[in-house]
Structure 1
Amino acid sequence: MEKKMPDLITVATAECFTHGKVAREVHAFARGYPLGYPWEINRDKARVSLVCGLFIPTISGVESVLRFEPMKPICAPEGIKVYDQKRDLAMAVQMATTVKKMTRSQIGIGTSAGIGTGGIAVVTNDLTITATTDVHADLRTSDAELIMRRQEAGVNEALRLFQHLLKNGF
């Protein structure tokens, strides 16, 4: 039996390396003017509302806005949290779970990337999906072009996972 889609799907994001771009694209899609992601679903069949989109690159931002104690980073230049791959994935899950709970949304999306391919998490009440990009970078030493390539790949992967949930009646 196919799952019935809720009348309105609420989403919240807590983003680091994707700089709030996932939230902007979700909101634009929901309002009928997608910014650039090649959506394969009809917004009339999956009514979405972005509750909030947060860009939180710093430890103090996590502590004060999301109100949890983040894992100790490898380093924190200007307060920006830098984790390895394993901890980026864990942080993305924690950020997605927390923003979902804080906003009472049905879906939470979190991203984090320091050293590696980045961590992306999409969380519902019943499911946690994690992914990475195919672009390896180090926030401490990689050039801006590589960092931006990883960011773009992260935005696209987060939106792909979100769309997959919508297409399959999360």
Structure 2
Amino acid sequence: MIKIATAECFTQGKIGRELHALAQNYEGNFGRDYIENPCEYGDFDYNKLSVTCSLFIPTIEAVKKILKIDNPPKPDTLIKGIKVYDEGGDKKVSKLMAKAVRDLSDCDIAIGTTAGVGRGAITIITKEYEITTTTNVYADLNELKSDDLYNRSYSGIIKTLEIVLLLLNDNIDKIKTLENIDIIKK
């Protein structure tokens, strides 16, 4: 069994929910919303997946108390406690979030997402790889433009799911062709 855990901000737990629906083979209204054809990524048996937890972590307080990250980088600003970083800060914090949820859950694949100003950041950690990327959509949380924020979130969900499915199907070469990818082999 491959265990997955997420600590999500701008993707609001939707990555974990989608992977859970895939792992459970749910259909209809309770089924997948983002992954149309998981078989197009390869022949991995998705029944071998289990989502340990999917956490929605928008605030700096939750980063500290729930993820137990003692000294996260100071946000550029706070909106009702919600952490707002620039894109570089988002990359650092998404890594911290992924590492923290991995340590808390003892999972095989850990995912951290966060976005303030810029394209946001996503980190996926496995025993072999640390992959950090951004969405393809710029948004500024300070401006509260709903369409921009939705489009960035949607882009992040789709890109993360694509990377996870490619990882599960041992297709790291395809991941390397995606935009804004930084892969560290451990």
Same fold by TM-score, threshold 0.5 exceeded? yes
Q: Deviations over 1:111-159 (max 9, x none)?
A: 0100000100100122100111110000001410110010000001111
Distance 1:133 1:169 in 2: 20
Residue 181 (structure 2) aligns with: none
Residue 149 (structure 1) aligns with: 151
Distance 1:165 1:46 in 2: 16
C-alpha displacement of 1:46: 6.0
1:48 aligns with 2:49: yes
1:35 aligns with 2:37: no
Residue 14 (structure 1) aligns with: 7
Runs of 4+ in 1 over 3 A off after TM superposition: none
Residue 183 (structure 2) aligns with: none
| Worse overlay, 29-38 or 145-154 | 29-38
1:66 aligns with 2:67: yes
- Number of residue-to-residue matches in the alignment: 163
Preserved contact between residue 81 and residue 114 of structure 1 (Cα < 8 Å): yes
Residue 5 (structure 1) aligns with: none
Equivalent pairs: percent with the same residue? 39
Residue 81 (structure 1) aligns with: 83
The structure 2 residue matched to 1:118, chosen from 102, 117, 120, is 120
Segments of structure 2 that go 5 or more residues without pairing to the other structure are 173-186
Q: Give the secondary structure class of the aligned counterpart of 1:76.
A: strand
Residue 167 (structure 1) aligns with: 169
Distance 1:46 1:35 in 2: 14
Preserved contact between residue 44 and residue 168 of structure 2 (Cα < 8 Å): no
Distance 2:130 2:79 in 1: 30
Residue 25 (structure 1) aligns with: 18
Task: Normalising by structure 2, report the TM-score.
Answer: 0.83
Q: Give the secondary structure class of the aligned counterpart of 1:81.
A: strand
Segments of structure 1 that go 5 or more residues without pairing to the other structure are 1-7
Residue 178 (structure 2) aligns with: none
| Worse overlay, 125-134 or 24-33 | 125-134
Distance 2:44 2:75 in 1: 39
Residue 180 (structure 2) aligns with: none
Q: Deviations over 1:30-81 (max 9, x none)?
A: 0002412122345636610000000000000111100112210000010000
Q: Give the secondary structure class of the aligned counterpart of 2:84.
A: coil
Residue 4 (structure 1) aligns with: none
